[in-house]
Structure formats: C-alpha cells, structure tokens
Copies of this chain bind each other. A is one copy, B any other.
Amino acid sequence: MRCRKCGTTAVINMRHHKLALCGEHYVEWVLAQTDRAIEKYKMFTRDERVLVAVSGGKDSLALWDVLLRLGYQADGLYIGLGINDPLPYSDASLEKTRKFLEFSIQYSVFRTGDDTQHATRITHPSTPLRSAQDASRFTPTLHVIDIAQTYGKTIPEIARAKMRGQGRPCAACGLTKRYVMNRLALDKGYAVLATGHNLDDEIAVLFQNTLRWQTGYLARQAPVLPASREGLVKKVKPFCRMYERETATYALVRGIDYIYDECPHAGGNLTNFYKTLLNQLETESPGAKLSFYLEFLRARGEGAFEQFNRVEELHACEVCGQPTSAPGRCAFCRMWDVSRVVE
C-alpha cells in the first residue's frame, strides 16, 4: 500500500476514506482533520486557553500533541486515581504523561515547527506547524491532582467504602473525574475542557443509548457540551470523528510513548462488547461507524431529539459551590463525605 500523496510506503489505509498515507502525510492529515473538527463544531480558538484531560493513554496524549502542534494554548490535567493494584496503572500513566510533556518542551516540537519526533524510530519529517509564531509564545503546563492526597482515599478505596465492595469502581471514578476536571478548569480560568474521546468511544455510548432509545441522553450527545451559567465548563471532543485505530496510529507515528494497558477495572464491560459489535459492522461495511455518528449528528441537528433536551435546573452545592441538580450537597460531596471545601 502506497501513500496517496507521495507514493512511499503507507503506514495506514483508511478504507472508509479510501485513503492510504505515509507517516508524514498521515500526521499532516490528522492535524488538518482535527483542526477542521475544532472549527466546524466551534470548539475553541487559538486565543482561548484549553485544558486537555490527559490519562497517559494514546487518545489524550495524541490530542494534546495535536493541539500543541496546531498552535493552541493547551495545558494538561492529569488526575491520579490511585489505581495501582495489581499493577501500578496510575503511577505508570502519570510517568508517561510527564515524559510526554518533557519531550514536548525539550524538543519544542510545537514551538519551532521542526521535524523532531517524540521517539527516534520514525524517520518521516512531520508536518510544519500552522502558526508556529503564535505557538512559540506558549509553553504547556501539566496540572496534577492526586485524588488520595486531596480527598484522602484512592478511587478503589472510596468505591469499596461506598459500594460495600460490590461492582466496579467505574461510577465513582467517572463522577470524581468529571467533578475534578470541571472544578480545575473553572478555578484556573480555562475556556474549555477537551477530552480525547474518539469515534469508537462516542459511538459505543451512542449505540448503548440508541439500543434503549434513551432520548434524553441522545438529545445531549454532541461534540460540544456548552458551558452553563451555573458553572459547568464547556466540554469538547476534537477527536470525535477519529477512529480509535487512527489515534493509535498517530501516537505510533509520532513516537508518543503511551500506556497500552486498559484500566484493570474496564475489562469485559458492556462498552467493549458494543465496540466489538460495531467493529464487525465496520468490517462488513467500511465507513459504517463514521456514518452512524455523523448521520446521528445530522438527525440531532435537525431536531430529532430536541423535545427531550430538558435543561436541568442547577444550583450551587452548599459545600463546594459547584453546580449540581441535587438538593443540598452535590453528588461528589456526598460520595466523598465532604463537609467543607477542600483546597
């Protein structure tokens, strides 16, 4: 398979786009595609400060890399969940994230537009930056919030304490991450919070919601969740049209060293089952995953679920002041038994 642009050996063949590309042109393509999504869905501009939620995985590190190379003012937020049993998953993830940032700053790939790679095994020069001048004024920061240090327990510990050892800690983890991300973004004055959700993530959720026709959720699933007056920060997913395989290939081509392992608690969950089904669909009809998502966005944009989009009434949590629909304390403060604000 040859690169459509230059005829050298391709690193990826995207059947759904009928497009094969070499490493250099693939990186260029990912940058252009992401920038196009950012513009199309009005996610943010180069004048705004963006907070990227980074986990140390391929999607979030690739996203941070792409945003920096595109000249966006993108800082990172790593949340230490304390998932280190049986393997030091969280510690390893933070390590990868720190290394990524170090390399990025050291080689200033996003500053100078030169062709330095995160690793050396890739030989293709990367695409030049679109606005190297703007980018050169910016050095990214990584915020690290360690849950155990801040709130006294790791995620597995709080989940055990609250759920009496039953079920996965995923619900507690999700609630905590959403809270911490929102609060830090607000406190530090970021215009927008960006997450690395890729197309496969998005359609797994879409599929789940569609199978049960959860019209309220369908009404709210979008590449952009707007900010609320009450203090919910704007949330965006610049990779929402990128196949998981594409973000993985980007990370590989760029030599980004990411954490390969899934969270040890994620195994066998329903989302992965849906992803497997959707992959069968994609194999049968290349492009089916992308069109499932894009056609949903079109139908949604045409008002298919508009009447189900009830705006929840939010007010300030009586403890932390963050927006909540619950009366009194927010779900986070209740779960963590917070009775005064933790700074």
Task: Give A contacts to B, CB under 8 Å.
Answer: 210-215, 270, 273, 277, 280-281, 284-285, 288, 291-292, 295-296, 298-299, 302-305, 307-308
Contacts and interface: CB of A to CB of B under 8 A. Distances in A.
Contacts of A295: 211-214
Given A277-B277, A304-B305, A305-B304, A299 B211 contact: no
Given A291-B212, A299-B215, A304-B308, A277 B281 contact: yes
A277 B277 CA distance: 7
A309 to B, nearest CB: 12
Nearest to A305: B304
22 contacts: A210-B210, A211-B281, A211-B291, A211-B292, A211-B295, A212-B291, A212-B295, A213-B295, A213-B296, A213-B298, A214-B295, A215-B302, A215-B304, A270-B284, A270-B285, A277-B277, A277-B280, A277-B281, A302-B308, A304-B305, A304-B307, A304-B308
Mostly, the A contact residues are helix
Contacts of A296: 213
A291 B305 CA distance: 19
List of 9 A-B pairs having minimum Cβ-Cβ separation, nearest first: A213-B295, A213-B299, A215-B299, A211-B292, A213-B296, A212-B295, A277-B277, A273-B284, A210-B210
A295 B281 CA distance: 22
A296 B304 CA distance: 13
Interface centre among A214, A277, A296, A304, by most chain B C-beta atoms within 10 angstroms, is: A304
A284 to B, nearest CB: 6
- Counting chain B CB atoms within 10 Å of each CB, the highest count among A211, A280, A288, A303 belongs to A211
A273 B303 CA distance: 30
A303 B302 CA distance: 13
A280 B305 CA distance: 28
Contacts of A284: 270, 273
A154 B298 CA distance: 41
Contacts of A212: 291-292, 295
